[in-house]
Structure formats: C-alpha cells, structure tokens
A = this chain, B = another copy of it.
Amino acid sequence: MFRHQKELQFEIKVERPDPQLARQIQEVLGGQFGEMTVMMQYLFQGFNCRGEEKYKDMLMDIGTEEIGHVEMLCAMISQLLDGASPDDQAKAAKDPATAAIMGGINPQHLLVSGLGGLPTNSNGVPWNGAYIVASGNLLADMRSNLHAESQGRLQVARLYHMTRDEGVRAAFRKMLARDRYHQYQWMAAIEELEQKNGVVVPASFPPEAELESQPEAYKFWNLSEGQESKEGLWATGSAQDGTGDFVYEADPVPLGNIPNPEIPAPTLHHDLDGKKFKNSNEE
C-alpha cells in the first residue's frame, strides 16, 4: 500500500515559461527511458520478486521514489507551460516570431492536457508497457536497470544544454547527480549477484549442456569487411569466468544447411504447381 506527501522530493522552480522546452522534456517523462519507465520497471520488479527480501525491499524503495520523480517532471512541465494559451496559435498567423515558437510546441499540451504533463514522449508517442522489463532473474533485471539509468542520464545531460534557464538547470543538476548515484547502486547490486552466481545470465543452465558448441560459440565471426574488430578483448581475450578463450574467425563459413521447407497443404492456397484445393477431397 502506498501513501503520498504533498511536498515534492526536490524543489522545482523554473525561471520562465518555455513551451518548446516543455515538449522536449516529455522525453524524460514518458519516453523509452523516462521516469515512467523506471517507475513502472522497478515497481513491477518489486511486486513480482520471489524469494529475495533484501532486493525486493530495495526495488520497492527506489520504485516508490520514482513515482515522485514522475510527479516532479509534471510540475516542471506545468511551470514551463504557464501562461500558454490557444490564442498564441491564432497570433502566430500574423507574427513570425510567435509562429516559430508555436511550430515547435506539442499541440496536445494545449488541446489534450490543458497545460499539464502527458504520458507520452517528446514526439507525442504514448508510453507503453513494452518499455519495461521484469523477468524474475535479478541479474538480468539489474543489468536492465543500469542500462536504463545510463540512457536516462545521457538524455538529461543533453537536455541540460537545451536551455539557459537556471531553475531548470538546477533541477537537472540534481537529477544528474541522483542518476549518477543510481548507476553506482545498480553496479553494486550487479557485483554482488555476479560474485554469487557468476557473470552469465542465467547461471542455472548447466554449462556442460553447451560444451559441444563451445569451440564454435567462442569464435568472433568477422562478417563485416575489414578487421578493425580484431583489436578488442572480445576477439583476443578469454571468458571472464575462465571457461575458454576467444578466437577471431577472419573468414567464417556457414555451418548449416540450406532451408527447404515443405510444400504446404492446398487449403493454405499458396497456389503452387499441382496443389489445387479440391472440394470433394476435403471431407
């Protein structure tokens, strides 16, 4: 069960409205790596967690924090939209400067949300459940979390340069610092889990079942012309858990067959030679 406090987690106070910036910021609210994504991702991971109370509690702590981040971004977007009105668009017909601004806004901020944040990205595409992952395997999921925080912090860093508004920038600096900590945090969890289970996900599939395939599996297939890719640890090193060495296959050849699927039943109507459907045969 959840409770709400009226105060925001951090102060949000923009210097002045900027509806174009409001549109851009939608990316980190309702985009692929926005706050809605991390909120729902951590909550679903927490709700579905089986058998690891420590991780479950941690996921619930952070997931609950992220609901508040969605709240903060809605507050920021509302402030950036303060004072905007449909009349601005009507004025744009006569004034190129207004037209330039109105051209870059999200029309749904006027028409649909009435100056509020939307559950969509910077192009107006609705947030959807396929953005998130909660697989039940903790290491797999925490790698997803580290990656989501990396993409999210990258986008905030880019947004930071899109404005000179010191209020917005101060809030972004706090978010950048917080996302920095979140990256550390998932790295710490990943390190713990890798030490316990090994570095490969999932750990519980028996390596011996793959043994037959290992020599081929550990080859780097050079399928793009040029051998610049040879100069990496992926091509010359060893498995991080010592299960084998990597080999650079400069001229790989396919190991499989040429597929040759069967001619389908005539009732599928592929219209291939001699495969006419005959009504009398059917029953």
Q: What's the least CB distance linking A85 to chain B, in Å?
A: 4
Q: Which residue of B lies closest to A243 (CB)?
A: B180
- Residue among A57, A70, A174 facing the most chain B CB atoms (10 A cut-off): A57
**B47 and A220 within 8 A (CB):** no
**A61 and B137 within 8 A (CB):** no
**A270 and B185 within 8 A (CB):** no
CB-defined contacts of A263 to chain B, threshold 8 Å: 50-51
Please tell me how many copies of the chain the complex holds.
6
Give bound CA distance, A277 to B105, whole Å: 23
- Known pairs A8-B1, A90-B163, A188-B232; A103 contacts B103 (CB<8 A): yes
Give bound CA distance, A124 to B125, whole Å: 7
Give bound CA distance, A84 to B184, whole Å: 31
**A158 and B268 within 8 A (CB):** yes
**A189 and B103 within 8 A (CB):** no
Q: What's the least CB distance linking A52 to chain B, in Å?
A: 7
CB-defined contacts of A84 to chain B, threshold 8 Å: 265
**A202 and B154 within 8 A (CB):** yes
Checking B72, B128, B234 against A189 with a beta-carbon cut-off of 8 angstroms, the contacting residue is B234
Give bound CA distance, A264 to B135, whole Å: 12
Give bound CA distance, A220 to B60, whole Å: 12
- Known pairs A64-B223, A112-B135, A128-B129; A213 contacts B90 (CB<8 A): no
- Residue among A44, A97, A204, A258 facing the most chain B CB atoms (10 A cut-off): A204
